[in-house]
Chains A and B, each alone.
Chain A
Amino acid sequence: MHCAVLVFPGSNCDVDLYKVILQIKGATAEYVWHTDTDLDRFDVLLIPGGFSYGDYLRPGALAGVSPVIASVKKAANSGKLVLGICNGFQILIEAGLLPGALLPNQSLQFICDVVPVKVTQSESPFTSSYQLGDILRLPIAHGSGNYYCDEATHKELKSNGQIAFSFTPENNPNGSDAGITGLLNEQRNVLGMMPHPERAVKQWLGSTDGLGLFQSMLEHHTA
């Protein structure tokens, strides 16, 4: 499973993401600078977190119109897996690959914490190694993770089973609608999530709950 780790000016979680892939037996990774438009050699596209373009205009807004995005869309439409983490989720939304918007956290503060995250869709290439209802301990580090969508979209997301991860009502750090913090597209080959699974892959990091996500992807690819 050959993965692209896209790098935009200001991306800073690319190395963590790259290193996780190297940990997964059978997976390889390559950094891809955002002006590179040839992604055909990759099976999976990964969009890391960080502050692309300094979050100028809106987080992910400028990255969303970068040269590489047209190729990401092409890959997504052809069914390849695309994973966007944190700023990557923001970029996927700005690029129109996922619905809704990510607003500033309700507290208007940047939140850096380890929080319980519930798996609310276990039937996807990203979450198949988890059980529905599993509570993962994952780090979050974001200023704009407050997911919003209108009533109609929310209804559709629920009925299509697109909500992959949610905060529990008692533990919603950013005020996102219904605690939504991980979203799949309709075909379930594109996932955007605010928590950082790539930072929960070693005992000494405090949690290994993120590994399952990458293992699911490998299983899906080799199936």
Chain B
Amino acid sequence: MLQPNVLDVQGQAVQGALKHLGFESVEKVRIGRQIEMILPTEDREAARLQLEKWRRNC
């Protein structure tokens, strides 16, 4: 996990690209050894489905 103080330009670039693909609602993307995405939802299942869609399309 990227330390919170790291400026993650890679994550920002990927977040921008996700917007092109229609994934507007992603609040944040941070990429370290794993890819973290912050989605503005309390619905765990909806979040999982969104990530699955992203995983398959990118």
Question: Interface size class for chain B?
Answer: 10 to 19
Decide if A57 is an interface residue (CB 8 Å cutoff).
yes
Query: For B17, what are the chain A residues with a Cβ–Cβ distance below 8 Å?
Result: 53, 57, 61-62, 65-66
Contact A67 B20 (CB under 8 A): yes
Given A54-B9, A57-B31, A65–B58 Cβ distance below 8 Å? yes
Contact with B along A51-67 (1 / 0, CB 8 A): 00110110001100111
Residue of A nearest to B21 (CB): A65
Which of B20, B21, B31 is packed against the most chain A CB atoms within 10 Å? B20
How many angstroms from the CA of A62 to the CA of B31 in the assembled complex? 14
Query: For A54, what are the chain B residues with a Cβ–Cβ distance below 8 Å?
Result: 9-10, 13
Q: Is the interface of B mostly helix, strand, loop or mixed?
A: helix
Query: For A56, what are the chain B residues with a Cβ–Cβ distance below 8 Å?
Result: 9-10, 13-14, 31
How many angstroms from the CA of A56 to the CA of B10 in the assembled complex? 6
Query: For A67, what are the chain B residues with a Cβ–Cβ distance below 8 Å?
Result: 20
Q: Point out the residue from B9, B20, B31 that lies within 8 Å of A65, measured CB to CB.
A: B20
CB distance from B55 to the nearest CB of A (A): 12
Residue of B nearest to A66 (CB): B20
How many angstroms from the CA of A104 to the CA of B20 in the assembled complex? 26
Contact A57 B20 (CB under 8 A): no
9 extra interface residue pairs, beta carbon distance < 8 Å, beyond A53-B13, A54-B9, A57-B17? A53-B17, A56-B10, A57-B13, A57-B31, A62-B14, A65-B17, A65-B21, A66-B17, A67-B20
